[in-house]
Amino acid sequence: GAVVSQHPSRVICKSGTSVKIECRSLDFQATTMFWYRQFPKQSLMLMATSNEGSKATYEQGVEKDKFLINHASLTLSTLTVTSAHPEDSSFYICSATVTSGRNNEQFFGPGTRLTVL
Amino acid sequence: GNSVTQMEGPVTLSEEAFLTINCTYTATGYPSLFWYVQYPGEGLQLLLKATKADDKGSNKGFEATYRKETTSFHLEKGSVQVSDSAVYFCALSRHQAGTALIFGKGTTLSVSS
């Protein structure tokens, strides 16, 4: 199956700093990538949809100036959490989709656990 | 709008017990349906899927049947193992290209020996 990687897997940072998370599709080209956020013992909540070469589409309530998304190529999307605060501590998961006809299967990265002190 | 409702957990079972995790959905049209599993400390893995009514998805002894008449996609396994302990998410996706998955809240399964 298709493989999606995320880097780093874990990051601890001080409040006020920025953190960049990379999401890569390793063996396929993904025109669309999604960023989700998961709080402990809760479901995944979609943050934004990232299309290669265009601006990301953010879900209601997600601050686009705080969560910067760049989809620079068909295999790479990055999420930058700017001026992170403890409430941004969460598990961030990306997925990449291969679209072909009716197939909208998504492949998930292993996630990045962000802890803001 | 589209939504997914899963039974509340946690579900606690003994090894070799029968498992059912209920999932119902609300959607326009005919979505694809998925079950994902998340083991402790890991990301999501696709467990099984079904893309049209009456399809049965199966993998690793787990099964789920796409029931359009009851808008359900219940997950079942005849004999659970300790290694099945994880969080299970039901999700749907519209066939439209480039749309995100909509997840249920997840059900935690704990299997003891």
- Give B108's contacts in chain A (Cβ within 8 Å): 41
Show the CA angle centred on residue A28, arms to residues A30 and B94, nearest 5°. Answer: 45
**For residue A97, is pLDDT > 90?**
no
Dihedral angle sign, alpha carbons of residues B64, A26, A51, A7: positive
Q: Yes or no: say if A5 and A33 are a contact pair by the CB < 8 Å rule.
A: no
| Tens-place pLDDT, residues A11-41 | 999 999 999 999 999 988 888 899 999 887 7
Reported as a pLDDT band with limits 50, 70 and 90, residue A1 is low
The pLDDT assigned to A10 comes to: 96
More confident residue, A19 or A55: A19
CB A49 to CB B94 under 8 A? no
**For residue A9, is pLDDT > 90?**
yes
The pLDDT assigned to A28 comes to: 86
Show the low-confidence residues of chain B (pLDDT under 70). 95-98
CB A111 to CB B42 under 8 A? yes
Q: What's chain B's average pLDDT? A: 92
Distance, C-alpha B18 to centroid of its chain: 15
The pLDDT assigned to B98 comes to: 61
Distance CA B33, CA B55 (A): 10
| Tens-place pLDDT, residues A59-81 | 999 999 999 999 888 899 999 99
HSE of B10 in the Cβ direction (CA atoms, 13 Å)? 11
How far CA A85 is from CA of A23, A55, A82, A105, B20, in Å, comes to 22, 25, 9, 33, 40
The pLDDT assigned to A111 comes to: 93
Q: Yes or no: say if A42 and B106 are a contact pair by the CB < 8 Å rule.
A: yes
- Give A102's contacts in chain B (Cβ within 8 Å): 32, 51, 95
**For residue A104, is pLDDT > 70?**
no
- The candidate with the shortest Cα–Cα distance to B111, out of B18, B22, B36, B23, is B18
**For residue A101, is pLDDT > 80?**
no
How far CA A116 is from CA of A16, A38, A65, A89, A100, in Å, comes to 9, 15, 18, 5, 39
Q: Yes or no: say if B78 and B61 are a contact pair by the CB < 8 Å rule.
A: yes
**For residue A89, is pLDDT > 90?**
yes
CB A51 to CB B98 under 8 A? yes
3-class DSSP state of B84: helix
